[in-house]
Amino acid sequence: MAYISNGLWRLTPRRAASVLLACSIVLGMRSATVACVLYDPNETPKVVDLGPTPVPPMTTKELAEILRKARMPQAEAVATLPGFVQESTLDFLGGATYLKVTLDRAFRSEIYHFVRKDDRLNFIPPGREGWNEIVNHFDVSVRDPDTALRYVQWLLDATSEGSFWLVQSVDGVPFLPENREDKSHQARIAEARAKLEGKVEAPRVEAKEGVYLVQQDAVVGRSLVRYTVRVSKLGLPTVETTTLAEDLPVVSVG
Partner 1 sequence: MASPTSESPTPKPLPTPPPPTPAPTPDPKDKAKFPTADKYACAAMEALAKDIADKIEAKPANGDKTVYPGEDIYNQALKDAKAAGKNDTEAKEAARKALKDALTDGNVVDKGTGETLADKARREWEGAQRGNPVPAPAPVKVPLAVPPATDYMNKCATAGVPLPPKWGDPAWVKKGNLSQVFASKLPTTEVWVAQSPNGVCYALPRIDSGGTIQLLGQICQNPKTGRTCFWDNKDPSDGKTGLAVTPGLGPEKMAGGDKLEENCTECHRGDNAFIVHPGTALEFSGQNPCSGGGSKPTDVAAGAKYTPMGAPKFQNPPDDALDKKLKACNQCHSIPKLSKSYCGTVLEGMIRSKEMPPGGDQSDPDTADDIKTLRAECAKL
DSSP conformation letters of 138-155: S-----SHHHHHHHHHHH
Nearer to partner 1, 34 or 190 (CB): 190
Q: According to the binding rule CB under 8 A, does residue 28 interact with partner 1?
A: no
Q: According to the binding rule CB under 8 A, does residue 61 interact with partner 1?
A: no
Q: Looking only at residues 133 through 152 of this chain, which bind partner 1 when binding is defined by CB under 8 A?
A: 133, 136
Decide if 203 contacts 214 (C-beta within 8 A). Answer: yes
Closest separation between CB of residue 189 and partner 1, Å? 8
Closest separation between CB of residue 142 and partner 1, Å? 12
DSSP conformation letters of 144-211: SHHHHHHHHHHHHHHT--SSEEEESSGGGS-BPPP-TT-HHHHHHHHHHHHHHHTT----EEEEETTE
Q: According to the binding rule CB under 8 A, does residue 221 interact with partner 1?
A: yes
Q: How many Cβ atoms from other residues are within 10 Å of residue 167's Cβ? A: 21
Which of 163, 215, 216, 241 binds partner 1 (CB under 8 A)? It is 163
Q: According to the binding rule CB under 8 A, does residue 106 interact with partner 1?
A: yes
Sign of CA dihedral 101, 7, 172, 163: positive
Closest separation between CB of residue 168 and partner 1, Å? 14
Size of the site for partner 1 (CB under 8 A): 74
Q: According to the binding rule CB under 8 A, does residue 82 interact with partner 1?
A: yes
Q: According to the binding rule CB under 8 A, does residue 103 interact with partner 1?
A: yes
